Each structure stands twice: as structure tokens, then as C-alpha cells.
Amino acid sequence: MNWITSFVRPKINSMLGHRDVPENLWIKCPETGEMVFHTDLQENQWVIPASGYHMKISAKNRLTYLFDDGKFEELPRPPAVQDPLKFRDSKKYSDRLRDVRAKTGLEDSILAGIGTVKGLRLVACAHDFSFIGGSLGMAAGEAIIRAFEIAIENKCPLVMFPASGGARMQEGILSLMQLPRTTVAVELLKEAGLPYIVVLTNPTTGGVSASYAMLGDIHIAEPGAEICFAGKRVIEQTIHEKLPEGFQTSEYLMEHGMVDMVVARQDLPDTLARLLKIMMNEPLPASSDSAKEKATGKPAVVADGKTDSVKAKTAAIPEKIAADGSEDGDADNRG
């Protein structure tokens, strides 16, 4: 018998006390492999500080980061039929719903809320990718439509944050029917003369990208987001060709005219508030960056010394609207 391991070490451990160390203290950057302390990541809204990689976040965090002081009123979810097709694959769909609800604390993949962003009242609707891949089913469709109805009732704009793999296969044709239903809701908002902005996040794919995710007056995307209908591997296997580097990323789509601007997560509230106030003919607050630009005659720069292109672009929007005579000229010409 080894008396050190059998007697001395247990005695020391009992004197010092056993400490359980959480397994998620350090998080690895998927892009560079860098290890980041989890509190640093949380404070930076789940964006890797060095690489700028945007991690997936929950719908609740998404709305908390967006609204002033993180406060918003969660919109009620309309009742929807559960498991209408009595679907079963490797397990019953009803059991799958029960398990994922217990794990995420969500009723379905959509969370909608109403609040203020830089003093501007708006409705925001976000997918939660942790709930069956953010897929669109009957309950999610009803929640989205109700969010549009509340936006119209309150005469305020709506901001959509899609993060989805597409329609939910366990609900078959009933999930696909949510695509035209949500499209009609978008048109009703536009007929009411209210802005609709889509912030494309990673990933936005499938039927969601073929419907309301691509019907915004302005399309913003987070850096590095995958935005597509079919995945890169499926396309390569179909056409038997190698696709370009960075294909289907937000930066690639902006270069090719499918996305209007790429904005970092921390800059979204300021950018959205500025755009929406321009679109609704509301006065813009004077920012410290604007004052600095007036004093120096140069656009503001960020910490790394590069010009803040997002702020420069949004600052130029009023002049472009005046020149075009229309605030949605870009959307009309997108095709």
C-alpha cells in the first residue's frame, strides 16, 4: 500500500477542501484557436476580442444587447398546434420538443419583444439557434406574424434577427406554409409605411433565407455570418466545381450586392437607431463621433486606426436620400 496516495493526499485534500472547477472557464475561438476567458467574452457580447469572430448567442441575449439598458417587454406567443403530423424519426417529435424546451427554457425558436433603442420604440424578433436549429415551424410562424401585427398596432418599425437552418421538417408542408404567411406580414408592415430591417446572423439558411430574411428595406449582416439557401458542400457536389473562398459569407454577399452593410454586434444599436430615425424622419442625436468629425473634417477612427466604415456609410445616407429622392431606392433596385 502506498501510504502517500492512500493516506497523506486524502488528508491534505480534506483539509484544503475540494473545489469544483467549471469546464467552460475558457472558450476556444473557432477561427484562430485562441483561448478566451469566458467573462471577457461575455463582456464583449460573445465576440472574440482578438479575431472579431462572432459566436452564436441566445435570442434573449440578442434582445438584451439591443434594447436600452437591456430592458424590453416580451411579446406573448400565440397558441399553436403541437406535433400536427405525429412525426417520428429517431424519436417522437413531441418528445424532442419536450426535451429541447427543458434544455433551453424556450417554448419555441422565436423570441419577440418591444422596447426602445436609443430612445426609438421598436419591435425586435430573434431566432434562437439552440432550439432545433432555429427552425421555422407553426408556433414560430405564429410568433413572427404576431410580432408584425403588434408593430403595426404600435406604429413602430420591426427588426428581424434570423438564425435558422430553415423550415422544420418534422412539420412538413405546414412549416413551409409559414413562408408565404410571414411574407404577407412583411407586406402589411410596408403598406403601413413602417420600416423593416433584417440583421442576418450566423447562420441564415434554407427557407428562412428564401422568405422574410431577404425582404427587408435594409439588410445588415454580422461579420462572418453564413447566409445562403443551400450549403456550400451541397452546391459543390451538385455542380462538381470548387466554390470561391469566403463564398456565402456576409462580406462576400456585401461585395456582390445582396447585403447593404456588415456591422459588428457592438455597433448594431447605434446603427439601427440612426437608420430607423432617418427612415421615419425623426431628428438624429448629435454623437461624439459626429462632433469629432466636424472639428477635424475626418471620419472617426476605431482603436486599430482604421476608418469606421459603418459610421461613415450611415452618415452619408441622408445626402444619398436627398440625391435619389427616395429613402428605399437601394431596396427597389436590388431585384
Question: Domains plus CATH for the chain?
Answer: 50-267 (3.90.226.10), 286-335 (no CATH)
Contact in structure between 35 and 28 (CB atoms under 8 Å): yes
Q: Is there a cis peptide before residue 203, judged by omega within 30 degrees of 0?
A: yes
Contact in structure between 176 and 135 (CB atoms under 8 Å): no
Long-range contacts made by residues 252-257, C-beta under 8 angstroms, separation at least 24?
253/221, 253/227, 254/221, 257/334
Contact in structure between 285 and 276 (CB atoms under 8 Å): no
- Rounded Cα distance between 274 and 123, Å, is 16
Q: In sequence order, what DSSP letters do the residues of 247-297 get, joined into one string?
A: TTBHHHHHHTTS-SEE--GGGHHHHHHHHHHHHTTPPPPPPHHHHHHHHHS
**pTM (predicted TM-score):** 0.79
Reading the chain (335 residues) residue by residue, the pLDDT tens digits are: 566 666 666 766 666 655 555 567 899 999 899 999 999 999 999 999 999 999 999 999 999 999 999 999 999 999 999 999 999 999 999 999 999 999 999 999 999 999 999 999 999 999 999 999 999 999 999 999 999 999 999 999 999 999 999 999 999 999 999 999 999 999 999 999 999 999 999 999 999 999 999 999 999 999 999 999 998 899 999 999 999 988 999 999 999 999 999 999 999 999 999 999 999 998 886 654 554 454 445 444 444 444 454 444 445 444 444 444 444 444 444 44
Contact in structure between 228 and 209 (CB atoms under 8 Å): yes
Placement of cell 501510504 in the chain? 3
